[in-house]
A and B are shown apart, each in its own frame.
Chain A
Amino acid sequence: MQLPVLNNTTSEAASGGGCSAGSCGSTDDQMSHLPEHIREKVFNHPCYSEEAHHYFARMHVAVAPACNIQCNYCNRKYDCANESRPGVVSELHHPVQAVKKVLAVAANIPQMTVLGIAGPGDPLANPERTFETFRMLSEQAPDIKLCVSTNGLSLPDNVEELSKYNIDHVTITINCVDADVGAKIYPWIFWKNKRIKGREAAEILIAQQQKGLEMLVAKGILVKVNSVMIPGVNDKHLEEVSKMVKAKGAFLHNVMPLISEAEHGTYYGLTGQRGPTPEELQTLQDACEGDMNMMRHCRQCRADAVGLLGEDRGAEFTMDKVEQMEINYPEAMKMRAEVHAAINEELESKRLAKEAKMQLVSIQGSKPKAETRPVLMAVATKGGGVINEHFGHASEFLIYEASSSGVRFIGHRKTTPYCEGGDTCGDGESALDVTLRVLAGCEVVLCSKVGYEPWGPLEAAGIQPNGEHAMEAIEDAVLKVYEEMRVAGKLTPKAIEQQKVA
């Protein structure tokens, strides 16, 4: 049996530049069909590589406040330090301040490989600030990758400028390719000195996005497409979007769930438009996957996020604190290079170990096993690709699917940490209730430790707590537990029915 666990195919791309047949399922198979020069661009980019996001960190600087369109999921008045979502920042920076902050973060968090400009407005609606920041950084910190996110309206006008600053990665948010759908998402755009509303606005925006995508691809710049999944508005339509952007040369598609809490004051929030459930999101991502490489590990981070995906260390680097720091960047760059080399060595040794294991399996031959049903497992991790977080401390769980063909990463689900939740949150739901709801559909939760108290309710909800694989590699542990379930006869079709009834 082949074990198509995460990233086990990168080496083939690395050595031969070829496409590995027989890989399937894992999100990082995207790497396997990539030529070496592209693989090199993404292997340490946490937003482009699922494996990289366990090891490498990114940051955004908020230098781009202005926007040239309105989206129904965005409220431009919002500013809050406790909210983690796109479009939100606490401090706006001028380019000189932003560069200072980047150098401070890069010196203190050497795992930081990527600097993105993502807002809080649209970076290309603020071209002077955005490009000044990029220009200074490409001179002062040549070891940092630069990337940018945009709604695409001004993209065609800026592709030439973008290509000057060694920007390898651009993300375009494309929510539709049909103006009738777009009219339900974008109330207006600012275009050629006029505010344009309705279908006409959506038509212009869509045309600009697609033109920009084609121009970037023609320049050899990697393009990721983000789409916000809005149930009843563009959910079915996004399969078409996925096909279209792939045909035009996008490298990765990231379908994200709509965030629409009423207290955010957005149009969707105030009019009761709901976001998708984790299951709905996964179903759509799976449907798109046949045609396109799908990103599953997006954390929808803030426009000023700092750190590994899923964590935010922005509070350590406010402008007052940064101003106090003395940074010797040439020195920091040496230390960063050492840290990156150590991470790469670790990744390489993991890869070799996986390869050796696969060869062993193929030499021994695999006993044909009966087809077993897939099982979702939740994992508590702080990073590093291992199970190293207490159940009660986890603010998110990574979701993996084990099946007879191997392990694949499905996504992440956020929650309120059980130990920090207080008695209740929101409408009388306890933190544990939230976690139980968030983990719906999972049958196992793997963590470094789990307390006595949540154990019973987890079991009662059909989720087996498991603290036996602390500090083990995630995929190995998931496979072991899946094998135990198989041996225990829990993977027969009968078990599926039982679970559905429960």
Chain B
Amino acid sequence: MALEIIESCTSCWACEPLCPSKAIYEAKPHFLIDPDKCNECAGDFADSQCASICPIEGAILNADGLPMNPPGSLTGIPAEKLAA
């Protein structure tokens, strides 16, 4: 049970200090989550902290590989505009 940061991450640092398990670390070309440390904030917070502050839709995936913040969920930009 761990979240994953993928290439659309912009390395903005917002998530790193929030992680209660210190699972997030700076890496190139983008930040990464140590799957052995991440527990999706279970027991610490109701919501996963990294996924709650991440501004980039789709940059963080859940254990099933699905985006925690799907397209349009944060910016409200309609999907057809995003594709353009």
Contact A188 B81 (CB under 8 A): no
Contact B75 A65 (CB under 8 A): no
Q: B11 at the A/B interface (Cβ < 8 Å)? A: yes
Assembly CA distance A65 to B45 (angstroms): 24
Chain B residues with Cβ below 8 Å from A65 are 11-14
Q: A406 at the A/B interface (Cβ < 8 Å)? A: no
Q: A106 at the A/B interface (Cβ < 8 Å)? A: no
Contact B81 A70 (CB under 8 A): no
Contact A267 B76 (CB under 8 A): yes
Q: B77 at the A/B interface (Cβ < 8 Å)? A: yes
Consensus secondary structure, chain A interface: loop
Contact B55 A67 (CB under 8 A): yes
A interface footprint on B10-36 (CB within 8 Å = 1, 0 otherwise): 111110011000000000000000000
Contact A76 B52 (CB under 8 A): no
Chain B residues with Cβ below 8 Å from A194 are 46-47, 52
Chain A residues with Cβ below 8 Å from B55 are 67, 70, 76
Contact B49 A193 (CB under 8 A): yes
Q: A500 at the A/B interface (Cβ < 8 Å)? A: no
Chain A residues with Cβ below 8 Å from B52 are 190, 193-195
Contact size class for B? 20 to 34
Assembly CA distance A125 to B17 (angstroms): 10
Q: A97 at the A/B interface (Cβ < 8 Å)? A: no
Q: Shortest CB–CB separation between residue A128 and chain B, in angstroms?
A: 8
Task: Pick the residue among A67, A193, A195, A270 that contacts B12 (CB under 8 A).
Answer: A67
Contact A70 B10 (CB under 8 A): no
- Number of A-B contacts defined by CB within 8 Å: 63
Contact B14 A195 (CB under 8 A): no
Assembly CA distance A77 to B12 (angstroms): 9
Assembly CA distance A92 to B28 (angstroms): 14
Q: A417 at the A/B interface (Cβ < 8 Å)? A: no
Q: A187 at the A/B interface (Cβ < 8 Å)? A: yes
Within 8 A of A (CB), among B34-60: 45-47, 49, 52-53, 55-56
Assembly CA distance A338 to B27 (angstroms): 45
A interface footprint on B57-77 (CB within 8 Å = 1, 0 otherwise): 000000000000000001111
Contact A270 B77 (CB under 8 A): yes
Assembly CA distance A23 to B16 (angstroms): 53
Chain B residues with Cβ below 8 Å from A77 are 8, 10, 56
Contact A271 B81 (CB under 8 A): yes
Assembly CA distance A174 to B52 (angstroms): 23
Q: A138 at the A/B interface (Cβ < 8 Å)? A: no
Q: A121 at the A/B interface (Cβ < 8 Å)? A: yes
Chain A residues with Cβ below 8 Å from B46 are 193-194
Chain B residues with Cβ below 8 Å from A195 are 47, 52-53
Q: A126 at the A/B interface (Cβ < 8 Å)? A: yes
Assembly CA distance A65 to B30 (angstroms): 14
Within 8 A of B (CB), among A188-240: 188, 190, 193-195
User: With contacts A187-B76, A270-B81 known, is A76 near B12, CB below 8 A?
Assistant: yes
**Nearest-neighbor residue (CB-CB) of B51 within chain A:** A195
Contact B56 A193 (CB under 8 A): no
Q: Shortest CB–CB separation between residue B17 and chain A, in angstroms?
A: 8
Q: A68 at the A/B interface (Cβ < 8 Å)? A: yes
Q: Shortest CB–CB separation between residue B45 and chain A, in angstroms?
A: 5
Within 8 A of B (CB), among A111-169: 121, 125-126, 128
Task: Pick the residue among A76, A126, A188, A267 that contacts B77 (CB under 8 A).
Answer: A267
Q: A419 at the A/B interface (Cβ < 8 Å)? A: no
Q: Shortest CB–CB separation between residue A429 and chain B, in angstroms?
A: 22
Contact A126 B13 (CB under 8 A): yes
B interface footprint on A309-337 (CB within 8 Å = 1, 0 otherwise): 00000000000000000000000000000
Q: A471 at the A/B interface (Cβ < 8 Å)? A: no
Contact B75 A68 (CB under 8 A): no
B interface footprint on A239-273 (CB within 8 Å = 1, 0 otherwise): 00000000000000000000000000001001100
Assembly CA distance A77 to B59 (angstroms): 11
Assembly CA distance A28 to B69 (angstroms): 47
Assembly CA distance A72 to B74 (angstroms): 10
Assembly CA distance A448 to B10 (angstroms): 45
Assembly CA distance A188 to B76 (angstroms): 10
Q: Shortest CB–CB separation between residue A160 and chain B, in angstroms?
A: 20
Contact A193 B45 (CB under 8 A): yes
**Nearest-neighbor residue (CB-CB) of B81 within chain A:** A270
Assembly CA distance A66 to B56 (angstroms): 12
Assembly CA distance A65 to B55 (angstroms): 11
Chain A residues with Cβ below 8 Å from B11 are 65, 92
Contact A267 B14 (CB under 8 A): no
Task: Pick the residue among B10, B17, B77 that contacts A271 (CB under 8 A).
Answer: B77
Assembly CA distance A72 to B75 (angstroms): 7
A-B residue pairs in contact (CB < 8 Å), sample of 22: A65-B11, A66-B12, A66-B14, A67-B12, A70-B75, A72-B76, A76-B56, A77-B10, A77-B56, A79-B10, A121-B12, A121-B13, A121-B14, A125-B14, A126-B13, A128-B17, A187-B74, A187-B76, A190-B52, A190-B53, A193-B45, A193-B52
Q: Shortest 7 CB-CB distances between A and B: which pairs?
A: A66-B14, A76-B55, A270-B81, A195-B52, A65-B12, A190-B53, A66-B13
Given contacts A65-B12, A67-B12, A270-B78, 10 further A-B contacts (CB under 8 A): A66-B12, A76-B55, A187-B74, A187-B76, A193-B46, A193-B49, A195-B47, A195-B53, A270-B81, A270-B82
